[in-house]
Amino acid sequence: MSTAAAVVPTAPAGPAGRPAPAWQPLTALAIGLAGLLVAFAGRYGYHRDELYFLRAGREAAFGYADQPPFTPLLAAAMDAVAPGSLVALRLPSALAAAGVVLLAGLLAREFGGDRSAQLLAAACAAVSSVLLAAAHLLSTTTFDLLFWAVVSWLLVRALRDGGRTWLLVGAVAGAALQNKVQPAFLLAAVVLGLLAVGPRSVFRSPWPWTAGLVAAALWTPNLVWQATHDWPQLQLAGAIAGGSSGTSEPWYLFLPFQLVLVSPLLFPVWMAGWWRLARDPALRTWRCFAVAYVALAVLFLVTGGKPYYLAGVYPLLLAAGADPALRWARRVGTRARRLLVPALATSLAIGAVLMLPVLPARWLPGSPVAAVNYDAGETVGWPRFADAVERAHDRLPEDARAVVLTGNYGEAGAVDRFAPDLGPAYSGHNSYWAWGPPPEDADAAVVVGLPQERLARWFASVQAAGRIDNGLELDNDEQGETVWLATDRRVPWSEIWPELRRLA
């Protein structure tokens, strides 16, 4: 990072002025971030989404109710290589984060940034809160950030060079769409930017159109799956817009959140990047990205998208802003230059404490970590959750045919992972609903996450058999829930199951 603070004359932007890539420092920084993430990968425990992915990956399909297949299949593959290893499960995320860091530096080079600008852009990406939070877990967001960075880098090159580079754009975009649908919005926003500010000559070439066909062809299996299952992801998007997700935020916090996705201290860097893309004649070829950022912000704001949906744009904006940030520091003087390293170090320290499992788990209750980082609270207590379900199940007669029924996919995933003898678990939440209903010969159920009065409509007896306690007194989504024993079922599962379906 000290190299990033050094100020040397920068090469002009544009094809003729591209400096050499700073491979060694960029690679060292990327490896350093990956090492940090791996070092903390085994602390706390599985996140609810990871437990869900593990089960979804074993139910291989071209799509799921809430996502395309990339991340679940990757989760299943990593668990097959190293069963039960959190470090192995999260290793791809650490490598993806390293890729984002490297690409931020390479994007700065495309915009004419020298060695120092490349390293500053990469360092800003490495310490960004959203990357630390996403890359600690195996999540669709981690790979979405990587795919956006790759697509952005390829688009920058394609807009400048044209030709077959567009085929790479199409191929990577198609792969990205097998992870999340958000890259489609990036591509649409860039097209809007090209129509608004150019260069419109792009549309006279056959290569971009061919790239679109490549992306569509690669996306087709998931689109067909969605179409044949009544487009559940559209229904899910409506649920998220209504605030059903634990990481949803009120609409009025969408824009303020953009200030903290990287770091409040580094906000001027990416803002300078947006301004440079919008105003610098040397970057006229890529002015469409300035329009695309605004279009995406408006789209996600009005449709109830989560604040981090914009996170994939920031490596590009940081790359564009690194050079003017260093030039500003050079004009202001030594004191300003010395602020860059502390700003990076402070951002890393705060981001690591809040977004990584640095603190002992017992310190989470009452700490700002659980309040700021919702996901931290969702990575503790799952083995104890499964133990409570097992104890409740042990109260049933030995000849009872019982299933485990839960209110959400994290709870079901915990049973499948930590109490496999009781599995498979059943839930009406998202894709778990497609893996039911339970067998009709199961007349009893151990239930968590559903209210007693609802269960009483289907079972003659519903009795409390325990309570969930994560052992930390941490107020997460499961803490304090009642474990119910529901027996003497009087309604067929075929009638119960449609009522349990929930997309959220």
Distances (CA, A) of 464 to 157, 393, 425, 458: 62, 12, 19, 16
Q: How far apart are the first and last CA of the chain?
A: 41
The dihedral region occupied by 208, where left means phi > 0, alpha psi between -120 and 50, and beta the remainder, is alpha
Q: Distance between alpha carbon 395 and the CA centroid of its chain, in Å? A: 40
What are the mean pLDDT values of the chain's consecutive 10-residue runs (504 residues total)? Answer: 35 57 97 98 96 97 96 98 97 98 98 96 98 97 98 97 96 98 97 96 96 98 96 86 64 90 95 97 97 97 91 98 90 70 94 96 92 93 97 92 97 98 96 97 97 97 96 94 97 97 92
Question: Which string of b and e fits 245-275 if b means at least 16 CB within 10 Å?
Answer: eeebbebeebeeebebbbbebbeebbebbbe
DSSP annotation string for 265-325: TTHHHHHHHHHHHHH-GGGGGGTHHHHHHHHHHHHHHHTT--GGGGGGGHHHHHHHHHHHH
Tell me what pLDDT residue 399 has: 85
Q: What is the pTM of this model?
A: 0.92
Amino acid at residue number 330: R
Tokens of 50: 């990871």
Tell me what pLDDT residue 338 has: 72
Tell me what pLDDT residue 337 has: 62
Q: How many Å apart are CA 501 and CA 433, to the nearest integer?
A: 6
Task: Classify residue 53 by its DSSP letter.
Answer: H
Comparing C-alpha atoms, which of 81, 95, 183, 182 is closest to residue 138?
95
Tokens of 407: 């209110």
Tell me what pLDDT residue 334 has: 62
Tell me what pLDDT residue 181 has: 95
Domain coordinates of the chain in residue numbers?
A: 20-355, 382-500
Three-state DSSP at 404 gives strand
